[in-house]
């Protein structure tokens, strides 16, 4: 019971006036105390990848692990779940998809459902508008049995804490402790990811595991730099010079696409926006000299016209096509952009195409700042009205989906049925057939977004020369720089006022970067941010950090 008090939400300013909004206060909880609420980790060793093809991952002194690399697709895949397990029931689901919706049912989905004995009515929804869709569906309280919500959306859904508490089943009684006997593949998911799925002291979801510890990389078109004989920059001045040399509007080439978070890292701005100063004060990035310097640097890039004009117009503009065509040489994006580009067959059109993550450097040439990322990136919630038997049947499905790389299950939902949806090429790499591209292809996430998958090795998805080696080398060079975020292990939903203040701040920062407001406005902008929610956010996080400290103290 002592735990119950400690896991009460750290509220940012509890006000009791009757006409004050009570919702949107946010919540932060220390996840370490929740280990008894989540499945006990039991490694599943059903797959043994060939040592010869494996580049081992590494562990940093700070405990960060980089995934292993695999040079060749396994010659033999292992079947992890022997028999269909379902009771023939039908369940509904909702997952995001950033691609045209697949036809349903089709041979690909039917083959998988046949293996389950449980029918899932897949309903992939437009990923771009997913926040609006999921909010509306939840507000109807007529939501599907399985609802997957990405982590970056969950904070932005109004009153999401009510939804998590009230609309979804508490999985703690079913999943806490030892589950390896019934669901060995779910027990194989790493504990930090499970801890992220604890909301308000209850295990509420199955997490999508983030196997890659590194934040978004700064991609560069290495082939263009090589062709022009330009070296990689090692500090901010060299980056600026390189930008000037590369940019040539007459040749339809600009040095930079979206650079905001790349420049923030180069200038050493705090990961996750906050940091504790030596004097113990918690400060936001907006209050640091580094962030101001980074903003001024970005302003210079825009001012000199080094950023692609379409991006200069909009931070959210999609720079993927411009980067792939060579109109843009450098930009920050998710790691998936790399595999996506290679998977799109770009090497057939341009054999010289060489996309690489640039090595991080500090603006003054010192030790680089490398941002990490949270151990889970999405959560699958189950409907509260499901009975225990129904939840168990769905967890059987999730267990199947959690089969790791190298299993036959993984191969089935990733590539479809051999001979129908894919065939092995001479290197033993599965390659989609025409039917496979149409039915599986871009629709593949519809299946594995249902529940979590364990971290998987870095492997090529086709004939991608040098990809695995180059990524493993980059990881090896950067692992030592990963530092635990100051909120590591704190599950947090920020107070509404802080989020609103940040939203408003983003607009003003955009005006500053693009030279629409003078830099002299800086102090006013900071003051406004503090007044409208920034200071409330600071109090909220100070409380959360203090709670973690107390927790650590009392458990010793």
Partner 1 sequence: MSTTVSTGPGPAQPQAPDRPSQRRSARPARRPVRKLSFRTRLRRDWQLLVMCIPMVVLLSLFHYLPMLGHTVAFQDYSPFRGDSPIEAYLESPWLGFTNFADLFADARFWTAFRNTLVIFTVQLIFFFPLPIFLAVLMNSILSRRIRSTIQTIVYLPHFFSWVLVVAFFQQMLGGAGLIAQIMHRLDTDGRWGIEPINVMTNPDTFIALVTSQVIWKDAGWGMIVFLAALTQINPNLYEAAASDGAGPWRRFWHITLPGLRPVIVLLLILRLGNALSVGFEQFILQRDFVGARAAEVLDTFVYFVVFGGGGSFSYGAAAGLFNGVVGLILILTANKIAHMLGQDGIYRKTA
Q: Which residue from 99, 139, 476, 488 is in contact with partner 1, where contact means CB under 8 A?
A: 139
23 contributes a contact to partner 1 by CB under 8 A? yes
Q: Which stretch binds partner 1 (CB under 8 A): 43-51, 72-80, 355-363, 509-517?
A: 509-517
281 contributes a contact to partner 1 by CB under 8 A? no
How many residues of this chain interact with partner 1, rule: CB under 8 A?
Answer: 55
Q: Which residue from 135, 172, 191, 469 is in contact with partner 1, where contact means CB under 8 A?
A: 135
Q: Which residue from 72, 131, 182, 244 is in contact with partner 1, where contact means CB under 8 A?
A: 131
Q: Are strands 376-382 and 146-150 parallel, antiparallel or unpaired?
A: antiparallel
The smaller minimum CB distance to partner 1, of residues 325 and 429, is found at 325
**9 in Cβ contact with 200 (< 8 Å):** yes
Give the Cα separation of 119 and 112 in Å (integer): 9
**Where are the strands (E) in 198-243, listed by range?**
198-199, 202-203, 205-209, 218-221
Q: Which residue from 77, 112, 163, 486 is in contact with partner 1, where contact means CB under 8 A?
A: 163
156 contributes a contact to partner 1 by CB under 8 A? yes
The smaller minimum CB distance to partner 1, of residues 100 and 465, is found at 100
166 contributes a contact to partner 1 by CB under 8 A? yes
Q: Which residue from 181, 348, 434, 507 is in contact with partner 1, where contact means CB under 8 A?
A: 507
The smaller minimum CB distance to partner 1, of residues 238 and 511, is found at 511
Query: Phi first, then psi: what are they for 482, rounded to 5°?
Result: -70, 130
Q: Which residue from 514, 530, 539, 551 is in contact with partner 1, where contact means CB under 8 A?
A: 514
Burial class (CB in 10 A: 0-12, 13-18, 19+), 6: middle
500 contributes a contact to partner 1 by CB under 8 A? yes
140 contributes a contact to partner 1 by CB under 8 A? yes
Give the per-residue SS3 of 461-494. CCCCCCHHHHHHHHHHHHHHHECCCCCCCEEEEC
| Residue reference for tokens 């790349």 | 262
88 contributes a contact to partner 1 by CB under 8 A? no
395, two tokens = 């967890």
Closest contact distance (angstroms) between CB of 108 and partner 1 is: 31
Considering Cα of 316, then 322, then 326, then 328, what sign does the dihedral take?
Answer: negative
Give the Cα separation of 115 and 56 in Å (integer): 33
The smaller minimum CB distance to partner 1, of residues 188 and 502, is found at 502
**13 in Cβ contact with 21 (< 8 Å):** no
320 contributes a contact to partner 1 by CB under 8 A? no
**256 in Cβ contact with 328 (< 8 Å):** yes
Q: Which stretch binds partner 1 (CB under 8 A): 80-88, 107-115, 339-347, 499-507?
A: 499-507
Give the Cα separation of 357 and 212 in Å (integer): 14
Segment 200-259, which members bind partner 1 (CB under 8 A)? 249-250, 252, 254
284, two tokens = 């936001």
Q: Is 314 helix (H, G, I), strand (E, B) or coil?
A: coil
* Alpha-carbon distances, residue 89 vs 94, 119, 286, 306 (angstroms): 17, 6, 52, 57
Q: Which stretch binds partner 1 (CB under 8 A): 17-25, 209-217, 419-427, 543-551?
A: 17-25
Closest contact distance (angstroms) between CB of 498 and partner 1 is: 7
Q: Which residue from 264, 308, 492, 548 is in contact with partner 1, where contact means CB under 8 A?
A: 308
Closest contact distance (angstroms) between CB of 23 and partner 1 is: 5
What is the per-residue binding string for partner 1 in 38-77, x denoting contact by CB under 8 A?
----------------------------------------
C-alpha of 556 from chain center: 33
The CB density around residue 503, as the number of other CB atoms within 10 Å, is 11
Q: Which helix (H) or strand (E) holds 414?
A: helix 408-415
Interface contacts to partner 1, rule CB under 8 A? 19-24, 131-132, 135, 138-141, 155-160, 162-163, 165-167, 249-250, 252, 254, 308-310, 312-317, 322, 327, 494-500, 502-504, 507, 510-511, 514, 516, 533
């Amino acid at each position: 019971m002592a735990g119950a008090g400690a896991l009460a939400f750290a509220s940012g300013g509890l006000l009791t006036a009757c006409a004050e909004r009570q919702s949107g206060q946010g919540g932060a909880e220390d996840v370490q105390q929740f280990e008894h609420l989540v499945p006990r980790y039991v490694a599943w060793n059903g797959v043994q990848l060939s040592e010869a093809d494996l580049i081992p991952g590494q562990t940093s002194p700070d405990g960060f692990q980089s995934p292993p690399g695999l040079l060749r697709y396994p010659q033999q895949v292992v079947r992890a779940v022997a028999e269909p397990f379902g009771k023939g029931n039908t369940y509904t689901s909702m997952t995001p998809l950033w691609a045209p919706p697949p036809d349903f049912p089709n041979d690909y989905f039917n083959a998988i459902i046949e293996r389950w004995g449980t029918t899932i009515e897949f309903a992939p929804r437009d990923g771009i508008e997913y926040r609006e869709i999921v909010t509306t569906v939840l507000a109807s309280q007529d939501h599907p049995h399985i609802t997957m919500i990405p982590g970056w959306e969950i904070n932005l859904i109004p009153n999401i804490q009510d939804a998590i508490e009230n609309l979804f089943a508490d999985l703690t009684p079913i999943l806490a402790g030892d589950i390896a006997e019934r669901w060995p593949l779910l027990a194989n998911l790493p504990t930090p990811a499970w801890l992220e799925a604890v909301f308000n002291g209850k295990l509420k979801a199955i997490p999508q595991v983030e196997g890659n510890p590194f934040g978004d990389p700064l991609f560069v078109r290495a082939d263009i730099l090589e062709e022009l004989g330009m070296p990689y920059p090692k500090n901010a001045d060299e980056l600026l010079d390189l930008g000037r040399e590369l940019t040539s509007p007459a040749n339809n080439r600009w040095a930079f696409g979206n650079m905001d978070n790349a420049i923030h890292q180069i200038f050493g701005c705090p990961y996750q926006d906050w940091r504790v100063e030596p004097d113990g004060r918690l400060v936001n990035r907006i209050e640091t000299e580094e962030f101001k310097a980074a903003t001024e640097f970005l302003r210079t890039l825009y001012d000199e016209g080094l950023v692609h004009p379409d991006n200069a117009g909009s931070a959210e503009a999609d720079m993927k096509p411009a980067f792939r065509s060579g109109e843009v040489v450098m930009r920050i994006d998710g790691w998936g952009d790399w595999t996506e580009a290679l998977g799109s067959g770009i090497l057939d059109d341009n054999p010289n195409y060489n996309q690489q993550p640039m090595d991080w450097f500090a603006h003054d040439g010192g030790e680089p700042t490398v941002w990490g990322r949270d151990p889970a990136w999405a959560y699958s919630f189950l409907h509260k009205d499901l009975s225990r038997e129904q939840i168990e049947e769905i967890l059987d499905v999730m267990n199947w989906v959690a089969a790791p790389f190298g299993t036959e299950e993984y191969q089935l939902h990733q590539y479809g049925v051999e001979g129908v949806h894919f065939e092995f090429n001479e290197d033993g790499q599965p390659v989609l057939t025409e039917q496979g591209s149409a039915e599986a292809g871009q629709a593949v996430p519809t299946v594995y977004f249902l529940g979590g998958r364990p971290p998987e090795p870095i492997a090529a998805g086709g004939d991608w020369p040098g990809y695995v080696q180059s990524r493993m080398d980059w990881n090896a060079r950067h692992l030592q720089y990963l530092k635990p975020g100051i909120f590591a292990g704190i599950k947090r939903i920020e107070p509404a006022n802080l989020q609103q203040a940040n939203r408003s701040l983003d607009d003003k920062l955009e005006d500053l970067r693009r030279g629409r407001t003078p830099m002299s406005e800086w102090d006013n902008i900071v003051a406004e941010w503090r007044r409208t929610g920034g200071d409330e956010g600071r109090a909220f996080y100070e409380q959360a950090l203090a709670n973690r400290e107390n927790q650590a103290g009392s458990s010793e």
